[in-house]
Amino acid sequence: MHKASGPVEATEDDGSAGPPDPAGDGMFQVDLRGMVDLLSHHLYSGPRVYLRELLQNAVDAVTVRGTSDDRPALRLVPCDVAVDGRLHAMDSGVGLDAHDVRTFLATIGRSSKRDELGLARSDLLGQFGIGLLSCFMVTDDIEVVTRRADGPWVHWVGRANGSYDLTVLADGLPAEDERAAWLADGPGTCVTLTPRRGTAELLDTRAVLELARHHGTYLPHPVVVRTASGEVETSGKTPPWRLTDPEQRRTACRELAEAELGGTPFHVLPIRVPEAGLDGVAVISGQRTTAGRAGRHRVHLKGMLLSDSVPDLVPEWAFFVRCALDAHGLRPTANREALFEDDLLEHTRAAIGDQVRTWLVRMATTQPQRMQRFLDLHHVAVKTMALEDDELLRIVLPLLPFRTNQGTSTLPDLLATTDVVRVTAARDDFRQVASVMAAQGVAVVDGGASIDLELVRRLADVDPGAQVEVITAADVEGHVRLAAEDRHREVAHALADVRVVLDGVGVDVDLRVFAPPSVPALLVDDGAARERREVRAVAAEVDDVWGALLGAFDDGGSERPRLLLNDANPTVRRVLALSDVHVRRVAAESLYGRALLSGSHRLRPVDTALLERSFNALLDRAVGTAGEPETTTTPRSTP
């Protein structure tokens, strides 16, 4: 029996943590304990990954061996089933000799699965040479008994403190040790983990079955878990997208989508990216999805689940898509919990995007009603996509719904009633003009969402005959009449009074006549006025040089909002007819306050003060007249 021990080696041949070189040149020194701790405890999201790493090493070892025997690729014996209370992972792979153990198991970051250029060998899963260390999350020492087809039996124990023992077992293992029978039947490796206090439930039947199924259902190699009631095979299931019978494939894909990808799908689209060795499905969500909340994807690499919540696998606009797929060519990150961001991943993302887009274009041209149902759910995504893609724009723009002041409408429906499609440049403008324009029968599209504004602007690209006009709150004036001159004369005194009141908050007042009569006043505060106000406020704050510079860009126009009183409104007419000056002033402030609120304008400090003042005054009046104690007015009943 040959026995050796030492620290788990940190590099190939530097003797690891040797003393620092006094001359100043030399190799980095490595604190082994810290390194093992870092790689075993801090790299992974949780201790449950230990089983994935065992699975993966077994599958790689079987792949390297190339032949099989009667044993499964991997037999897992959970700690609550094993006679010694430990977890065993016994594989029928290629096995290791003492030299391999030293070179690969006992050297951190050394993987037999990489070639000399450091590239991953494409048929194997591992590549970083650290995965086994994840077992230290559930145990203090990792015991390995292994043998190559023609080599001696080797026993190795690696500890979390960075030390190991290596023994060549000339006589093998005692016959009562079940690993002896396993390795007597052929080459392979048995990894044994003694649960650390508090981790036994991660190594028991329930956990092992769940983890083996979770990560390895689609592994092509037989993996069995021993349970109290017999052995259960957890691998070998064909991924739904690879089923050859179309009906079975459809049903299995839907079941997968419902169970794993969130609800009944709108559609399950097969996807393929040969450059990444990728095949799978893109599930188009049947539920309304929120723009910007991208879906997470279920990604398998060579049959092994990488993660069921991989982000960023599809372009941003495709947030209604969730994929389930297997890929040979994509690279995992070192913790195997996400995909490595490289050119191939970027290409894959674009290729999946193209396939979703092609499906959409086909649906739009051949199944307009189905497309309409799709748009009801996902129009925000399609709008984003259409702006980036001329062909899609041409196809979907006529189908897309837009918010207008007359309800939701498509652009062709609008064009059926008008030659010009009017769209507001900002949501503020839409709020201000919507009701007045609607009352005049003028349709206006809400361009508040910049994407809608941009899409309406692109209408001419799709329909060269169509005219688009971008309007602001100021344009509403073109749709309201001035009040007649004699009416102006009639109410000149009252109007002057109202002007004085609102001059105090920097607002101009005009008397107009417009529909609907139910709207007493309209506050026009267009973007240009707001901008002037802001620039002038800044100019007043900064020093002379900057102030002069800002002044040079000032067009001298008005910065004041304008209140258009509607002379067709009965309340306005009553206010202008009031003889009590005080009440008229309160009413003027209230009319302004109402217009301010109904247009959802941003409130300046003076506006807030005015609202409070006018509200209090109204309250006082209401309480003052109606709130007298009842005892003074109620007649007493005589006995």
Ligand X SMILES: Nc1ncnc2c1ncn2[C@@H]1O[C@H](COP(=O)(O)OP(=O)(O)OP(=O)(O)O)[C@@H](O)[C@H]1O
| Type and span of the H or E element at 386 | helix 368-388
Does 162 engage in binding with ligand X (CB under 6 A)? Answer: no
d(CA 478, CA 321): 46
Write out the two tokens for 428.
């503020």
Write out the two tokens for 620.
């006082």
Q: How far is the CB of 195 from ligand X (least distance, A)?
A: 20
Does 356 engage in binding with ligand X (CB under 6 A)? Answer: no
3-state secondary structure 451-493: HHHHHHHCHHHHCCCCEEEEECHHHHHHHCEECCHHHHHHCHH
Write out the two tokens for 255.
């079941």
- Segment lying near ligand X (by CB under 6 A), choices 55-63, 243-251, 416-424, 465-473: 55-63
- Segment lying near ligand X (by CB under 6 A), choices 125-133, 271-279, 434-442, 489-497: 125-133
Nearer residue to ligand X within complex by CB, 202 or 314:
202
Nearer residue to ligand X within complex by CB, 192 or 384:
192
Nearer residue to ligand X within complex by CB, 47 or 131:
131
Nearer residue to ligand X within complex by CB, 52 or 512:
52
Q: Are strands 562-566 and 508-513 parallel, antiparallel or unpaired?
A: parallel
Does 96 engage in binding with ligand X (CB under 6 A)? Answer: yes
The answer to whether the annotation marks 53 as part of a ligand binding site is yes
Strand ranges (E), 216-257: 223-227, 230-233
Does 283 engage in binding with ligand X (CB under 6 A)? Answer: no
- Facing residues of 523 across strands? 563
Q: How far is the CB of 309 from ligand X (least distance, A)?
A: 20
Which contacts of 171-178 are long-range, i.e. CB under 8 A and separated by 24 or more positions?
Answer: 171/1, 173/145, 178/77, 178/83, 178/88
Which of 10, 43, 55, 61 binds ligand X (CB under 6 A)? It is 61
Does 105 engage in binding with ligand X (CB under 6 A)? Answer: yes
Nearer residue to ligand X within complex by CB, 158 or 561:
158
Strand ranges (E), 98-183: 139-147, 153-159, 163-169
- Segment lying near ligand X (by CB under 6 A), choices 56-64, 377-385, 489-497, 557-565: 56-64
d(CA 400, CA 62): 54
The HSE-up count of residue 73 (CA atoms within 13 Å, CB side) is 25
Count of residues engaged in binding ligand X, rule: CB under 6 A: 22
d(CA 486, CA 172): 116
Q: How far is the CB of 128 from ligand X (least distance, A)?
A: 3
Does 58 engage in binding with ligand X (CB under 6 A)? Answer: yes
Q: How far is the CB of 199 from ligand X (least distance, A)?
A: 19
Q: How far is the CB of 145 from ligand X (least distance, A)?
A: 11
Q: Which residues contact 56 (CB under 8 A, 6 or more apart)?
A: 125, 126, 131, 304, 336
Q: Which residues contact 80 (CB under 8 A, 6 or more apart)?
A: 200, 204, 205
The HSE-up count of residue 509 (CA atoms within 13 Å, CB side) is 27
Which of 9, 80, 91, 525 binds ligand X (CB under 6 A)? It is 91
Does 431 engage in binding with ligand X (CB under 6 A)? Answer: no
By C-alpha distance, which of 243, 249, 224, 247 is closest to 235?
A: 224
Show contacts with ligand X in window 169-228 (CB under 6 A): 189
Which of 7, 93, 520, 599 binds ligand X (CB under 6 A)? It is 93
Does 240 engage in binding with ligand X (CB under 6 A)? Answer: no
The answer to whether the annotation marks 189 as part of a ligand binding site is yes
Q: Are strands 188-195 and 223-227 parallel, antiparallel or unpaired?
A: unpaired
Q: How far is the CB of 95 from ligand X (least distance, A)?
A: 6
With b for 16 or more beta-carbon neighbours within 10 A and e for fewer, the 584-599 pattern comes to bbbbbbbbbbbbbebb
d(CA 119, CA 51): 25
Q: How far is the CB of 317 from ligand X (least distance, A)?
A: 33
Nearer residue to ligand X within complex by CB, 131 or 315:
131
Nearer residue to ligand X within complex by CB, 112 or 194:
112
User: What x/- string results for residues 35 through 54 when contact with ligand X is judged by CB under 6 A?
Assistant: ------------------x-
d(CA 338, CA 307): 7
Does 126 engage in binding with ligand X (CB under 6 A)? Answer: yes
Altogether, the residues listed in the chain come to a count of 639
The answer to whether the annotation marks 424 as part of a ligand binding site is no
Which of 82, 104, 177, 200 binds ligand X (CB under 6 A)? It is 104
The angle at the Cα of 174, spanning 171 to 180, to the nearest 5 degrees, equals 85
Q: Look at residue 271 and give its three-state secondary structure.
A: strand
Does 131 engage in binding with ligand X (CB under 6 A)? Answer: yes
Does 359 engage in binding with ligand X (CB under 6 A)? Answer: no
- Segment lying near ligand X (by CB under 6 A), choices 128-136, 209-217, 402-410, 616-624: 128-136
The CA-to-CA distance between both ends of the chain, in Å, stands at 122
Nearer residue to ligand X within complex by CB, 126 or 561:
126
Nearer residue to ligand X within complex by CB, 65 or 349:
65
d(CA 384, CA 559): 35
Does 57 engage in binding with ligand X (CB under 6 A)? Answer: yes
Which of 129, 195, 520, 593 binds ligand X (CB under 6 A)? It is 129
Which of 52, 75, 113, 378 binds ligand X (CB under 6 A)? It is 113
- Segment lying near ligand X (by CB under 6 A), choices 92-100, 417-425, 468-476, 482-490: 92-100
Does 111 engage in binding with ligand X (CB under 6 A)? Answer: yes
Does 132 engage in binding with ligand X (CB under 6 A)? Answer: yes
Binding-site residue numbers are: 53, 57, 91, 189
**Which residues form the interface with ligand X (CB under 6 A)?**
53, 56-58, 61, 91, 93-94, 96, 104-105, 111-113, 126-132, 189
Binding-site residue numbers for ATP are: 53, 57, 91, 189
